[in-house]
Amino acid sequence: MERYSEYDNFAWLYNQEFTIFSENIFPLLKDIAQERLPDGARVLDLCCGTGQLARVLIENGYRVTGIDGSSKMLDFAKNNAPSAEFITDDARTFQLPPVYDAVFATFDSLNHIMNLEELKQTFNNVERCLIKGGIFIFDMNTEKHFKTQWQDWKEIKENPDYIYIVRGEYDLEKRIGQFHCTVFQRQVKGWKRSDTILHERYYPQAEIKSALKKSGFTDIRAYSFDREHGLQKPTKNSIRVFYYAKKP
């Protein structure tokens, strides 16, 4: 993962422009979880960002704890979901007691973990904080996504008080994508520029499933999703894969 200062710098723009996925993903998570997500369940929102999913979970009657390494992200999360509990911590090192029915890590947040050993450690931490029979659901960007949507990605968006420019790239050999974002914010006199670079790593399904098994998870499943057909088995053309795993 990047230094959390990079996420701190990006937090306000993320809260303004990059929340649609988190605001709308809960019905799909519930479809994947099925009966394993009981009413009133205790849920850990890992890498919770600015708290949009936490807010939806609270609105649906769940008890929510959010973890994120960026204190600036959590400043927004506390306003967006004031009834949730939030903890500033690292996905790779956090330690919580086994009290959670479910852990969610969404919007390719775990792609930001840059090596397999640290991803395994994250899975270990999740397994330890789940109750017996608890579930872990997360999504990851695929190589198809990086090749088609990150490679040569360019976007400019203008608002009355800010302009941002996004540029993406993907290193096929290293399996690493870069997200470059330049923002110009209107000030009393002139404009203020800030730059953020974030990284994501592609992990093949086999690596992810093997790491989950080594962390003690069972009943491991992978899904892709489209609006026409719903949940399906992933294919080589899937751009995002959702993983389900259960603590025995």
Contacts of residue 173, defined as CB under 8 A and 6 or more positions apart, other chains included, come to: none
Q: Are residues 126 and 22 in the same domain?
A: yes
How many structural domains are present in the chain?
A: 2
Q: Are residues 230 and 208 in the same domain?
A: yes
Are 161 and 130 in contact by the 8 Å Cβ rule? The answer is: no
Question: ∠ CA 31-33-34 to the nearest 5 degrees?
Answer: 65
Q: Are residues 27 and 125 in the same domain?
A: yes
If you average pLDDT over residues 24-33, what whole number do you get? 97
pLDDT of residue 72: 96
The domain in which residue 182 lies consists of 144-201
Q: Are residues 83 and 193 in the same domain?
A: no
pLDDT of residue 2: 53
Q: Are residues 56 and 80 in the same domain?
A: yes
Tell me which of 53 and 227 has the higher pLDDT: 53
**76: CATH:** 3.40.50.150
Q: Which two tokens stand for residue 232?
A: 């399906």
Contacts of residue 172, defined as CB under 8 A and 6 or more positions apart, other chains included, come to: 147
Residue with tokens 């608002």: 159
**193: CATH:** 2.20.25.110
217-246 pLDDT, tens digit per residue, is: 999 999 999 887 789 999 999 999 999 999
